[in-house]
Amino acid sequence: MKKFHIITNSYKDLELINTKYIVEYLKERGCFASFELTDLKGENIRFSKELIESDCIIVLGGDGTLLFAARKIFGMNKPLIGVNMGNMGYLCELELNDIENALNNLIDDVYDMEDRMMVQGEIFDNSQKMKSSDFALNDVVIHRGGNLRLLNFIIYVDDVHLCTYSADGIIIATPTGSTAYSMSAGGPIVEPRAQIILLTPINSHTISTKSIVISAQSSITVEIGEGRRQKIEEAMVSFDGKKPIKVSSGEKITVSRAKNVTRILKMSKISFLKTLHKKMQEYI
């Protein structure tokens, strides 16, 4: 690789010390390197010439920054690698104390590449007209709004009714997203190369609160149910933590595997389970 574009979370590298160091190091090795800044929401990532022509995108920040970068370059088939400047950093493999060695490996094409499954979601109104669509690398979360009461979520898999949850929300997660919100809600941790979709309720008011593992070949539909006395309820839908979209009773959210993937570069030969063990030990 010879052309690199860096996306830096400006809140993580306030004076751009690390960003500028990486740019200069790459240039000294005869590479082209450019960078741009993004905020915590990642909304201002541009489709610049430098990004489009790059061989690899290096993300400085945390997992959230990498998620937003993955969404922004969806369909461009460009590999990403994250430098962890956040907390747990399941997605961001690199650490600043080993950045030179990692950059050398990138230049010399010494790395592995993993294709991570993404999901696409479509929101339909009561007339079955699609009013919004988006993609996610981690998860699609459907949750109650400001009212402190449970909502009814009617779940269909391949148009067959599966169950109805009375809960605060529903998380539809990819294997990559299994270590995020779904895990916090009691869902299982899944090897990121697996081809499945997780369905995890949030604070379900039922006897069974277990996650459901569904084939990636299937399509999941969540209908927002009515409240007591046929009251119209409102919920919110967010894709990888993006600004939520309001939905109401009778409207449906359909989630399925996306055609495109996110390509994540891997330097370490350590298995996912060993990496997971290390991360969990750090935060006990």
Neighbours of 199 (CB within 10 A): 24
- Mean pLDDT over each residue of the chain, to the nearest integer: 90
The structural domains of the chain, with segments of one domain joined by +, span 3-111+267-282, 118-259
Could you report the per-residue pLDDT of 3-20, keeping only the tens digit for each?
999 999 988 898 999 999
| Bridge-based pairing state of the strands 252-266 and 112-124 | antiparallel
**Is 158 a known active-site residue?**
no
Q: Is 184 annotated as a binding residue?
A: yes
Residue 42 has pLDDT above 60, yes or no: no
The residue-averaged pLDDT of 24-43 equals: 86
Residue 76 has pLDDT above 70, yes or no: yes
| Of the candidates 129, 150, 122, the residue with the CA atom closest to the CA atom of residue 220 | 122
| Res 279: pLDDT | 65
| Res 230: pLDDT | 75
Q: Is 183 annotated as a binding residue?
A: yes
The residue-averaged pLDDT of 256-266 equals: 95
| Res 158: pLDDT | 97
Element (H, E) at 37: strand 32-38
Q: Is 168 annotated as a binding residue?
A: yes
Rounded to the nearest 10°, the torsion over CA 189, 88, 276, 269 is 130
CATH 2.60.200.30 for the 118-259 domain, yes or no: yes
Could you report the per-residue pLDDT of 202-257, keeping only the tens digit for each?
998 876 678 999 999 999 999 999 877 778 889 999 999 888 999 999 999 999 99
The residue-averaged pLDDT of 259-263 equals: 95
Q: Considering the domain 3-111+267-282, what is its CATH architecture?
A: 3-Layer(aba) Sandwich (3.40)
The residue-averaged pLDDT of 174-186 equals: 93
The answer to whether 217 and 196 have CB atoms below 8 angstroms apart is: no
Lowest mean pLDDT among 115-124, 161-170, 227-236, 274-283: 274-283
Instruction: Record the tokens describing residue 210, joined without a space.
Output: 């277990």
The residue-averaged pLDDT of 131-150 equals: 90
Instruction: Record the tokens describing residue 267, joined without a space.
Output: 């330097």
The residue-averaged pLDDT of 137-142 equals: 97
| Res 206: pLDDT | 74
| Res 257: pLDDT | 97
Q: Would you say the pTM of this structure is higher than 0.85?
A: yes
- Which of the residues 13, 39, 55, 63 is marked catalytic? 63
Q: Is 262 annotated as a binding residue?
A: no
Q: How far apart are CA 215 and CA 257, in angstroms?
A: 10
Q: Is 138 annotated as a binding residue?
A: yes
Q: Is 149 annotated as a binding residue?
A: yes
Could you report the per-residue pLDDT of 196-210, keeping only the tens digit for each?
999 999 998 876 678
Could you tell me what percent of the chain has a pLDDT over 90? Answer: 65
pLDDT-derived band at 283 (thresholds 50, 70, 90) equals: low
